[in-house]
Amino acid sequence: MTLILRCLVALSLIVAGPSKGPQQHSETLLFDGGGETLNGTTYHSFRIPSLLRTTKDSLLAFAEGRTESNRDHGNINLMVKRSTDDGATWSGLGQVVGTGQGTWGNPTAVVDRDTGTIFLFVSWNAAGLSQDGADGTTRISAWGERRVRLFTSSKDEDGTVWHGPADLTEAVTPRKHADGSDWAWDAVGPGAGIQTSSGRLLVPATNRTIYSDDHGKTFHSAPMARGQEVTGESTLLELTDGRLMRNDTAVMSTWETAKNRWVARGTIEGGFDAYAPDPHLPDPHAEASILRYNLDTTPRIIFLNSASSVNRRAMTIRVSTDEGVTWPVSRRLSDAPMPAWPQLGSANVVEGGYSSLAKTANKQVGALVEVNENADASDTSHRSIVFRTMNLPWITG
């Protein structure tokens, strides 16, 4: 076993779960759009999940709390729930930030397993701004109108108290793209960051990787090279050979050439190879999530997205045992259908969209997945988030 592989095993504290045995799964309506109120605000929708397991084995579930509609702009707060029993029960609705008007979005969480500190990266802009200028908002068109902000929680606080936000925009957001154009729209994640075998903290972001080599005292940015700025929302994973793998949503013009996930491998110091579509991973131009499940015995990577080039309804969880080259094992989440929760009503309820993965202390795969409460009226429908757990025997069928 290489030194890198030994370090990864020790650092991640990951033990492989059995691939044979009783199949187990559970489903919990965790964030109920239109049905949860905090500080006098009833949240119309919850979207863009981020799931993290802390060094105390708590689970933290983050989501955007959209106050007025399911739209991507307007007054959006950052919400959180916490579990100390592997997701069997959860705290009530909590808030990381919600003071004043503004869009707090794209939660992307990572934990330093040496110090226990939890880092929650978010993107922020004023409530009257948006990516595309829809619904009477003003399109974001200048550097700095979209900010990178950071909240932290110590090991002892374990996600019950949050500090910040610190504004990291100057440190981690370039002013120009590799092709020389101005950097305006920007986003971190969303979903999850990672810590590598060397202890480096990594957070995926638009056309770059944010990193820290001093346990989060300072953060820096490693931009993609010219010709590689072809993706948007992104995921990160460390491979057993020490390289990184980005598995991203392509920008629309690139995605239209191949409606798949776009993947690149490389390092912070040496750069990444060219992005290429993964023919095994169809994609409807939506965020996905990835997880290193284990490194001992047969190393496994777990991947979740809608396995469709047409819609977000085909949520499929996959397993790779060759470091993401192929994905021979897969199962639809619909094989374990959501209960008919009365909170969701009786309209055309559809599960699918953005997701986030984490491995629980009892070796289950935990997943947050978006739910559209009425797919026949998607522009105005409430959006909710379900928490699922499943073990390897269920995934492998």
Model pLDDT, residue 355: 99
Question: Strands 138-139 and 129-130: what pairing?
Answer: parallel
Token pair of 163, please? 């500090």
Instruction: Tell me the C-alpha distance between 85 and 93, whole Å.
Output: 17
Number of CB atoms found within 10 A of residue 383's CB: 26
What letter does residue 323 receive in the DSSP assignment? T
At 246, give phi and psi (nearest 5°).
-100, 130
- CA–CA distance, 378 with 267 (Å, rounded to integer): 40
Strand segments, DSSP code E, in 67-200 are: 76-83, 94-97, 103-111, 118-125, 129-130, 138-139, 147-153, 163-167, 191-192, 194-195
Q: What is d(CA 285, CA 121) in angstroms, rounded to the nearest whole number? A: 23
Q: Is 190:48 a contact under the CB 8 Å cutoff?
A: yes
382 in Cβ contact with 33 (< 8 Å): yes
Residuewise pLDDT in 10s, the chain (397 residues): 343 443 444 344 333 445 678 999 999 999 999 999 999 999 999 999 999 999 999 999 999 999 999 999 999 999 999 999 999 999 999 999 987 789 999 999 999 999 999 999 999 999 999 999 999 999 999 999 999 999 999 999 999 999 999 999 999 999 999 999 999 999 999 999 999 999 999 999 999 999 999 999 999 999 999 999 999 999 999 999 999 999 999 999 999 999 999 999 999 999 999 999 999 999 999 999 999 999 999 999 999 999 999 999 999 999 999 999 999 999 999 999 999 999 999 899 999 999 999 999 999 999 999 999 999 999 999 999 999 999 999 999 9
What is the spatial distance between Cα 291 and Cα 278, in angstroms, rounded to a whole number?
A: 17
Joined tokens for residue 46: 């919850």
Selection from 164, 129, 133 nearest residue 144 by Cα: 129
Classify strands 315-320 and 329-332 as parallel, antiparallel or unpaired: antiparallel
Contact residues for 147 (Cβ-Cβ < 8 A; gap 6+): 123, 124, 125, 167, 169
Residue ranges and CATH numbers for the domains of the chain are 3-396 (2.120.10.10)
Q: What is the pLDDT of residues 318-330, one digit of tens each?
A: 999 999 999 999 9
